[in-house]
């Protein structure tokens, strides 16, 4: 069980004051930790980009405590968005909608749309309610690196340069939110997350997937996002033992993220069994990749995860973390497209 942690009033007051002063505050959400700034303060939002080393034209999500003040940020809320909000907010769903006129262009990356999310984590809710405004927040990691799912991951990324990190324990979901955009009343899935395609269809009916013609920029969808430093390869499920042996021949050290125990002892292999349940696998994914990245290995091999939309978000993040995808000998894992 994941501990649900609330902040003290003193911690929340300090964080709110920091936001009002234009400082950055890291805070927990149920997906990953966010690096937050007052969304109405252009100087503070610029500081997010500097701290992350993120290109200035990449838009960030604005977090609200409820849809109450949505109209301050969104010009026109599609009816389908209202229905999705009723079902999935607060929660791990981000919706990209037409932006209101006065929204700071740093937030939207100069686009005509804005991404909004109402997170469910109690500490995020406490912070947002006490602050009383929108908090712009990308994941609290340096650009292109693994997202943080624990307060200590944020500390590892930013060290003392971040004065306030609210510690809400382990993020329950552990993978970034599902992102959707709207084309009229039609819904397009931009980034898979724990609100699955089937969940979205249950409200929206049809679901568009793949990039639209005038597709908005989603840097999280660039190849080589969410990547560890050690080269990572996704291998067909049935070949993980053989590939671990081959990769570790001659005493090379290899790290493995699998869904079962090894079939035999491998001498130079650090093996993590992440299990067969997508919720538990997703919860630990970034933490496991951090552990394997630090294990002093030359390669990370990941056993390909099953098909099916409960694994979509995990499969997506693994492919973005991968430097290459091993070709299948036996047909398993063929649903994994080879990255360009």
The residues of the shown chain that bind Mg ion, judged by CB under 5 A, are 139
Instruction: Choose the contact partner of 61 out of Mg ion, ligand TXA, none; CB within 5 to 8 A by kind.
Output: ligand TXA
**Per CB under 6 A, does 24 bind ligand TXA?**
no
Q: Measured from the CB atom, is 139 or 270 closer to Mg ion? A: 139
Q: Token digits for 216?
A: 């908005």
Q: Measured from the CB atom, is 94 or 139 closer to Mg ion? A: 139
CA distance linking residue 66 with residue 118, whole number of Å? 6
Per-residue binder mask for ligand TXA (CB under 6 A), 202-241, x = binder: --------------xxxxx---------------------
**Per CB under 6 A, does 194 bind ligand TXA?**
no
Q: Measured from the CB atom, is 146 or 247 closer to ligand TXA? A: 146
Instruction: Choose the contact partner of 247 out of Mg ion, ligand TXA, none; CB within 5 to 8 A by kind.
Output: none
CA distance linking residue 30 with residue 55, whole number of Å? 26
Q: Token digits for 270?
A: 């650090």
Cα–Cα distances (Å) from 104 to 42, 93, 138, 274, in that order, read 7, 22, 16, 42
- Residue 318: CB partners within 8 Å, gap ≥ 6? 232, 234, 285, 302, 305
Smallest separation, CB 272 to ligand TXA (Å): 23
First to last CA, the chain: 39
**Per CB under 6 A, does 295 bind ligand TXA?**
no
**Per CB under 6 A, does 58 bind ligand TXA?**
yes
Residue 174 CA to its chain's centroid (Å)? 7
**Per CB under 6 A, does 113 bind ligand TXA?**
yes
Q: How many chain residues are in contact with ligand TXA, going by CB under 6 A? A: 27
Q: Token digits for 53?
A: 């080393």
Nearest Cα to Cα of residue 137 among 251, 314, 19: 19
Q: Which residues bind ligand TXA (CB under 6 A)?
A: 29, 31-32, 34, 58-61, 94, 96, 108, 111, 113-115, 117, 137-139, 176-177, 179, 216-220
């Amino acid at each position: 069980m994941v501990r649900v942690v609330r902040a003290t009033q003193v911690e929340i007051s300090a964080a709110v004051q920091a936001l009002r002063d234009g400082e950055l505050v890291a805070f927990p959400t149920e997906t990953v930790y966010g690096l937050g700034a007052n969304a109405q303060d252009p100087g503070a939002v610029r500081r997010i980009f500097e701290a992350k080393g993120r290109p200035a034209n990449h838009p960030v999500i604005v977090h609200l405590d409820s849809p109450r003040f949505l109209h301050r940020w969104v010009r026109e809320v599609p009816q389908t968005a209202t229905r999705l909000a009723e079902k999935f907010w607060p929660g791990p769903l981000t919706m990209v909608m037409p932006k209101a006129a006065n929204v700071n262009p740093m937030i939207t990356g100069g686009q005509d749309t804005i991404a909004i999310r109402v997170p469910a984590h109690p500490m995020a809710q406490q912070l947002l309610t006490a602050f009383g405004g929108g908090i712009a927040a990308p994941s609290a990691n340096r650009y292109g690196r693994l997202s943080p799912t624990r307060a200590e991951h944020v500390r590892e990324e930013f060290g003392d340069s971040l004065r306030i990190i609210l510690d809400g324990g382990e993020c329950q979901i552990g993978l970034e939110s599902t992102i959707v955009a709207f084309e009229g009343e039609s819904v397009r899935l931009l980034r898979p997350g724990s609100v699955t395609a089937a969940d979205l269809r249950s409200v929206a009916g049809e679901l568009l997937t793949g990039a639209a013609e005038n597709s908005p920029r989603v840097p999280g969808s660039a190849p080589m996002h969410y990547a560890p430093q050690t080269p990572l390869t996704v291998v067909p499920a049935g070949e993980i033992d053989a590939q671990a042996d081959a990769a570790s021949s001659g005493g090379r050290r290899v790290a493995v993220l699998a869904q079962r125990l090894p079939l035999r002892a491998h001498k130079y292999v650090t093996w993590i069994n992440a299990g067969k349940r997508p919720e538990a696998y997703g919860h630990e994914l970034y933490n496991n990749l951090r552990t394997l990245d630090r294990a002093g290995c030359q390669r990370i091999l990941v056993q390909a995860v099953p098909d099916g939309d409960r694994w979509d978000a995990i499969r997506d993040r693994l492919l973005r973390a991968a430097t290459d995808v091993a070709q299948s000998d036996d047909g398993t894992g063929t649903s994994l497209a080879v990255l360009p």
